């Protein structure tokens, strides 16, 4: 029987060795064509990211819909054999609740998902334009060419689609504004400078389904009357860059891009711009400055980019995920899209569920589901069933959300009311071994380095906030520090020049709001209960739990752990650098953080 | 590290492979970074001449963008992801251990010019945290015990 | 169009910058990175004000905010006072050696915050006016470098710059006197480079660097004047007096 063996070759699976798996499978299945003929042979296809990266490399057998996880090259012969015998390879199946499941539909990580932006990823070979076309690709572009630009925009408006990069501005409105301005040429830009630490949906889309972004951009260009576009993509995303480059070439060759799109009078020339490595370039005006070959400093947005954007000309800049949604809206109708989600946040959103969560990966679900559903039902809860402490959402512009707020729906507006934001969809789960003050210090350090440094509140405010937070983490916190942090934070919110500065204090302000007692413990008692801040914690071995397995001794980088196999180990606090490596290594929870009282 | 001679001709042909438009400045410097492991002064000055712009405006770019460096990097650049997911899964420990193993701090290069250590922003491989990338090869869920082996292997590869 | 600033009705054109309107109506809004000859930088954030449109209040930088509809402006609301004081306190920690900042701080009730780390001896507030000026007069000897909290202003490679003409425009425009220009006799030192000064043919005072005059001559296409500003003005006045005088 003819089958397709889909081997996930997203960055995550590649890192786990999926190329070797694909090659081994190809070798095993090479004689298949000779034995069974083309009609009935099994073919290997390399796909984009399946999202469940932690369990990669992932291999899927279609049309049987059997998924194998953590596949090694040496498993290839077993998989090849299973295709002959029709007996699945049990040991490679995903297990949940003691039961092995065949299909992704039975896997709790996948079953609640509804895929729009990620519709093709993991199903198609991103390097093959025909794969994209065979799943309805470029039909929306054909439709759009037959429509009045106003009708395309109306359709996008009716869908309720809002910008997936985080700001949530209505996409249709943006297009309508840009279409309404006289000056030409106009520009279309896809923002693929995914900078939020802990988010990788744009990378996945660019790698796994580049044509969906190209098609979305082409439809936008037709709607606003543009014939030039740019894709600004992080330089670190080498696979995404390679795939999008090929896709642009293939689309041009097939007549979907370039002069006279599908024989029409419209044209679109797309070029790739490799990001320079600056988080602030995720901000639209800084990104445009960067494309112009200047330093990526934002400008005040009193005059919007739709009126005066790149080279002072009307520009529509949308996020990669936003563009990937467009073809579906045009093809299947705005109503179908608007059926999903909440009243003000329509459709689905891709989330990167990472950190201390059991099932890590990319998840696409309708907006409005609760954080609890996302983290505990789809994500399976906290690793090792540790106590949940917080989830950080929205990257450095977002905030942390504590346990008692997990029933909040995730959409553009709700989390913002609570000081956090959905942002681009990063969800970082933290457990009791994560220190909230240290997390705030981490984000502040990140932003202090990544700010463009142009305006006083952001540059000098972050400098002082970072100093104070470092003091607190290292035991030099003072009374009044918390209030001062809040005060500086409020100035950043009001007085900074751009969105980076205005949202920069969110991690600090939310950790203070929801975990004030941790700050107080650091400042007053000089204690880091989580055992993260080295100056304020130390480690000891719990003699009841220790099995003498030697793992802690082997892991310790400075030789502070000693003991004999099968006996209880001890940590020499004079040598210990409180890096916490032994605690992470211990499988029996026997290394405990004890506050270092002064 | 012995610097390979920077050929003016090579720089010139690189610059001239792009149209004379200021917007290619970043891209050309990224190319230089790839070829020479840094943006050489000769390159910066040649570029200023090409665009008829002050050297200072390009120097400004080169110091602003993290993808560019004005000092040569080591033959093997170790990038340790310090994205949030990696951070809370112990990237700080990893950085500390690499530092001890190679006797360098982030941003530094070993004396023999073999390794540079860099902290980088999220590589989008959060599911595999903590992640380290050496010469485009990803190492996932890196534990400290693996480090010496990884670096020795890279050194051996260099010898061949 | 008429807008209200601090209760005063001000006539203005569509698109005019808010601070310009206020200045015309004799309402003072402090600013540091704004200079008549250059577009507002919008980066010092001392000129922040509150703008109310249809009941919605936002904080904007008045030097670069174009007025496009009727609005009510508050230049001294409690919020603005508080935020401006914080901005100035932060600035003071950045440039504790600047007398200008100290003065502004006392004027707007910004106290010195002893919790802040201060950059000893520093006068520069990184407004970038110097680099903008240098760029716009065509020298481009200095620029902002690095980013974030490591931002600075410097010549390339922190070396004396070939492009520098020693004209001193950067030092002139600096709102906090942060750029040192040393002059001794006919020698000027700036940005680590020494320049010979040319003396005025009339009064004998050293007034410009050779490089500056050469550049001016190149731009004008004729030999530059050998007179200092004062003497040149006087010479013009003399000519005018002779022509139109009684």
Q: Give the model confidence (pLDDT) of C89-113 as tens digits.
A: 999 999 999 999 999 999 999 989 9
- d(CA A217, CA A247) in angstroms, rounded, equals 13
b (16+ CB within 10 A) / e for A193-206: bbbbbbbbbbbbbb
Can you give the pLDDT at residue C246? 57
- d(CA C216, CA C227) in angstroms, rounded, equals 13
Between chains, do A354 and B129 touch, taking CB under 8 Å as contact? yes
Closest CA to A10 of A44, A49, A47: A49
| Contact residues for C236 (Cβ-Cβ < 8 A; gap 6+) | none
| Contact residues for A170 (Cβ-Cβ < 8 A; gap 6+) | A157, A160, A161, A162, A163
Can you give the pLDDT at residue A136? 96
- Average pLDDT for C39-51: 93
Q: Which residues of chain A have pLDDT under 70?
A: 596-598
Q: Rounded to the nearest 5°, which phi and psi values hold at A470?
A: -65, -40
Residues of A within 8 A of C114 (CB-CB) are none
C-contacting chains (≥3 CB pairs under 8 Å): A, B
Closest CA to A349 of A107, A111, A116, A110: A116
Alpha-carbon distances, residue B151 vs A475, B117, B158 (angstroms): 36, 12, 11
Alpha-carbon distances, residue C74 vs A495, C10, C67, C69, C107 (angstroms): 14, 13, 14, 16, 18
User: Nearest CA of chain A to the CA of B57: how many Å?
Assistant: 8
- Which C residues, 107 through 166, put their C-beta within 8 Å of a C-beta on chain A? 113, 115-117, 125-126, 128, 144, 146-151
Between chains, do A280 and C115 touch, taking CB under 8 Å as contact? no
- Contact between residue C93 and residue C117 where contact means Cβ atoms under 8 Å apart: yes
Closest CA to A402 of A516, A524, A502, A485: A516
Q: Does the pLDDT value for residue B4 go beyond 60?
A: no
What is the ipTM metric for this complex? 0.93
Q: Per DSSP, which regions of A28-89 are E strands?
A: 42-47, 59-62, 66-68
* Of the partner residues C79, C86, C147, the one whose CB lies closest to the CB of residue A453: C147
User: Nearest CA of chain C to the CA of B53: how many Å?
Assistant: 8
- d(CA A85, CA A446) in angstroms, rounded, equals 54
DSSP C196-246: EEEEPTTT--EEEEHHHHHHHHHHHTSPPPSS-HHHHHHHHHHHHHHHH--
B35: contact with C, CB 8 A cutoff: no
Residues of B within 8 A of C143 (CB-CB) are 54, 56-57, 59-60
User: Nearest CA of chain C to the CA of B56: how many Å?
Assistant: 5
| Contact residues for A197 (Cβ-Cβ < 8 A; gap 6+) | A395, A396, A426, A446, B82, B83, B84, B85, B87, B121, B122
Closest CA to A285 of A266, A311, A262: A311
- d(CA A331, CA A155) in angstroms, rounded, equals 10
Predicted confidence band at B1 (pLDDT cuts at 50, 70, 90)? very low
Residues of C within 8 A of B63 (CB-CB) are 145-147
Between chains, do C64 and A300 touch, taking CB under 8 Å as contact? yes
Residue with tokens 């998989």: A79
Q: CB A408: neighbour CB atoms within 10 A?
A: 16
- Contact between residue A302 and residue C60 where contact means Cβ atoms under 8 Å apart: yes
Residues of B within 8 A of C156 (CB-CB) are 44, 55-56, 59
- d(CA A168, CA A174) in angstroms, rounded, equals 11
Between chains, do A457 and C79 touch, taking CB under 8 Å as contact? no
Q: Per DSSP, which regions of A91-246 are E strands?
A: 94-96, 99-101, 187-192, 228-233
Residue of chain A nearest B145, judged by CA positions: A555
Residues of C within 8 A of A500 (CB-CB) are none
| Contact residues for A285 (Cβ-Cβ < 8 A; gap 6+) | A298, A299, A301, A305, A309, A498
- Average pLDDT for C78-96: 97
Output DSSP code: residue B18.
S
User: Nearest CA of chain A to the CA of C134: how many Å?
Assistant: 17
Residues of C within 8 A of A454 (CB-CB) are 43, 128, 151
Q: Give the model confidence (pLDDT) of C125-162 as tens digits.
A: 999 999 999 999 889 999 999 999 999 999 999 999 99
Between chains, do B120 and A392 touch, taking CB under 8 Å as contact? no
User: Nearest CA of chain A to the CA of C64: how many Å?
Assistant: 8
User: Nearest CA of chain B to the CA of A152: how many Å?
Assistant: 32
Q: Give the strands of the sheet with A348-355, arranged side by side.
A: A361-366, A348-355, A426-431, A388-393, A399-402
- d(CA C170, CA C132) in angstroms, rounded, equals 9
- Which A residues, 103 through 162, put their C-beta within 8 Å of a C-beta on chain B? none
- Contact between residue A44 and residue A18 where contact means Cβ atoms under 8 Å apart: no
Predicted confidence band at B2 (pLDDT cuts at 50, 70, 90)? very low
**What percentage of chain A has pLDDT greater than the value 90?**
79
Helical residues (DSSP H) of A451-588, grouped into ranges: 456-473, 481-495, 499-503, 506-520, 551-555, 581-585
Helix (H, G, I), strand (E, B) or coil at B24: helix
- Contact between residue A283 and residue A500 where contact means Cβ atoms under 8 Å apart: yes
- d(CA A569, CA A481) in angstroms, rounded, equals 39
CA–CA–CA angle A357, A194, A130 (5° rounding): 95
- Of how many residues is chain A composed? 598
Q: CB B47: neighbour CB atoms within 10 A?
A: 25
Between chains, do B125 and A53 touch, taking CB under 8 Å as contact? yes
Q: Give the model confidence (pLDDT) of C182-227 as tens digits.
A: 999 899 999 999 999 999 988 988 889 999 999 888 888 888 778 8
**β-strand partners of B76:** B115
Alpha-carbon distances, residue A97 vs A59, A101, A104, B143 (angstroms): 22, 10, 15, 29
Compare C243 and A336 and report the one with higher pLDDT.
A336
- Contact between residue A423 and residue A345 where contact means Cβ atoms under 8 Å apart: no
Can you give the pLDDT at residue B145? 79
A488: contact with C, CB 8 A cutoff: yes
């Amino acid at each position: 029987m003819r089958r397709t063996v889909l081997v996930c070759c997203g960055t995550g699976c590649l890192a786990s060795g999926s190329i070797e798996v694909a090659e081994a499978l190809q070798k095993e299945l090479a004689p298949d064509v000779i034995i069974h003929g083309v009609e009935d042979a099994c073919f290997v296809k390399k796909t984009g990211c399946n999202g469940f990266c932690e369990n990669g490399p992932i291999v899927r057998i279609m049309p049987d819909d059997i998924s194998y996880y953590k596949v090694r090259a040496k498993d290839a012969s077993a998989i090849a054999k299973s295709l002959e015998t029709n007996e699945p390879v049990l040991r490679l199946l995903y297990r949940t609740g003691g039961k092995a499941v065949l299909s992704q539909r039975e896997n709790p990580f996948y079953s609640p998902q509804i895929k729009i932006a990620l519709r093709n990823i993991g199903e198609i070979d991103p390097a093959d334009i025909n794969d994209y076309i065979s799943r309805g690709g470029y039909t929306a572009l054909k439709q759009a060419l037959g429509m009045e630009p106003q009708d395309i925009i109306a359709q996008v408006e009716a869908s309720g689609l809002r910008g997936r990069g985080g700001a949530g501005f209505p996409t249709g409105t943006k297009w309508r504004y840009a279409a309404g301005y006289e000056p030409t040429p106009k520009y279309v830009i896809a923002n693929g400078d995914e900078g939020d630490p802990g988010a990788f949906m744009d990378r996945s889309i660019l790698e796994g389904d580049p044509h969906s972004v190209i098609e979305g951009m082409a439809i936008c260009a037709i709607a606003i009357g543009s014939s030039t576009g740019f894709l600004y993509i992080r330089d670190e995303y080498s696979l995404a860059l390679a795939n999008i480059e090929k896709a642009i070439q293939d689309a041009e060759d097939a007549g979907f891009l370039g002069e006279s799109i599908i024989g029409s009078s419209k044209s679109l020339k797309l070029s790739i711009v490799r990001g320079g490595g600056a988080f602030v370039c995720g901000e639209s005006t800084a990104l445009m400055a960067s494309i112009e070959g200047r330093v990526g400093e934002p400008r005040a947005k009193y005059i919007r980019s739709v009126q005066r954007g790149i080279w002072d000309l009307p520009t529509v800049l949308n996020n990669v995920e936003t563009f990937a949604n467009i073809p579906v809206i045009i093809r299947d109708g705005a109503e179908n899209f608007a059926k999903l989600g909440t009243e003000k946040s329509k459709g689905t959103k891709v989330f990167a569920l990472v950190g201390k969560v059991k099932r890590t990966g990319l998840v696409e679900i309708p907006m409005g589901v609760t954080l609890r559903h996302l983290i505990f039902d789809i994500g399976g809860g906290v690793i090792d069933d540790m106590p949940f402490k917080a989830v950080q959402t929205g990257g450095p512009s977002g905030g942390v959300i504590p346990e008692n707020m997990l029933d909040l729906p995730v959409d553009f507006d709700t989390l913002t009311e609570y000081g956090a934001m959905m942002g681009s969809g990063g969800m970082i789960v933290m457990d009791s071994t994560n220190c909230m003050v240290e997390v705030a210090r981490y984000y502040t350090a990140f932003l202090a380095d990544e700010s463009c440094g142009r305006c006083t509140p952001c540059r000098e405010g972050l400098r002082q906030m970072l100093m104070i937070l470092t003091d607190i983490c290292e035991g030099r916190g003072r009374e009044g520090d918390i209030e001062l942090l809040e005060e500086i934070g409020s100035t950043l919110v009001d007085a900074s020049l751009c969105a980076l500065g205005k949202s920069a204090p969110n991690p600090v302000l939310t950790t203070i709001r929801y975990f004030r007692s941790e700050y107080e413990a650091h400042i007053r008692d000089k204690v880091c209960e989580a055992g993260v801040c080295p100056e304020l914690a130390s480690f000891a071995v719990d003699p009841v739990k220790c099995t003498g397995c030697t793992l802690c001794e082997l892991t310790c980088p400075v030789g502070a752990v000693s003991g004999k196999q099968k006996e209880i180990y001890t940590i020499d606090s004079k040598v210990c650098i409180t890096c916490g490596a032994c605690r992470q290594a211990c499988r029996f929870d026997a290394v405990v953080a004890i506050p270092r009282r002064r | 590290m012995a610097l390979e001679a920077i050929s003016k001709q090579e720089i010139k042909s690189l610059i001239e492979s792009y149209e004379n438009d200021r917007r290619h400045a970043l891209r050309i410097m990224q190319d230089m970074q790839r070829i020479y492991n840094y943006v050489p002064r000769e390159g910066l000055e040649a570029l200023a001449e090409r665009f008829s712009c002050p050297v200072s405006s390009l120097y400004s770019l080169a110091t602003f963008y993290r993808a560019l460096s004005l000092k040569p990097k080591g033959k093997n650049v170790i990038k340790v992801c310090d994205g949030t997911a990696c951070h809370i899964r112990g990237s700080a420990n990893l950085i500390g251990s690499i530092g001890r193993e190679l006797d360098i701090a982030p941003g530094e290069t070993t004396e023999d010019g073999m390794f540079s250590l860099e902290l980088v922003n999220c590589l989008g491989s959060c599911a595999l945290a903590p992640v380290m990338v050496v010469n485009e090869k990803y190492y996932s869920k890196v534990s400290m015990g693996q480090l010496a082996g990884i670096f020795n292997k890279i050194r051996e590869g260099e010898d061949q | 169009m008429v807008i209200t600033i601090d209760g005063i009705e001000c006539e203005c054109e569509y698109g005019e910058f808010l601070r310009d309107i206020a200045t015309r109506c004799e309402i003072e809004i402090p600013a540091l990175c704004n200079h008549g000859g250059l577009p507002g930088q919008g980066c010092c954030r001392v000129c922040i004000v509150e703008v109310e449109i249809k009941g919605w209040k936002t904080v904007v930088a008045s030097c670069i905010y174009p007025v496009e509809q009727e609005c009510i402006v508050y230049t001294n609301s409690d919020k603005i006072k508080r935020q401006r004081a914080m901005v100035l306190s932060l600035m003071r920690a950045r440039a504790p050696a600047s007398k200008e900042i100290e003065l502004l701080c006392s004027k707007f009730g910004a106290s010195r915050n002893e919790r802040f780390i201060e950059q000893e001896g520093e006068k520069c507030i990184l407004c970038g006016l110097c680099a903008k000026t240098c760029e716009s007069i065509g020298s481009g000897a200095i620029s902002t470098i690095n980013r974030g909290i490591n931002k600075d202003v410097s010549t390339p490679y922190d070396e004396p710059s070939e492009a520098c003409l020693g004209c001193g425009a950067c030092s002139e425009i600096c709102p906090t006197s942060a750029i040192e220009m040393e002059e001794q006799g006919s020698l000027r030192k700036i940005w680590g480079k020494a320049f010979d000064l040319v003396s005025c043919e009339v009064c004998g005072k050293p007034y410009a660097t050779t490089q500056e005059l050469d550049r001016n001559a190149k731009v004008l296409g004729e030999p530059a004047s050998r007179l200092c500003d004062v003497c040149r003005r006087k010479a013009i006045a003399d000519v005018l007096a002779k022509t139109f005088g009684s």
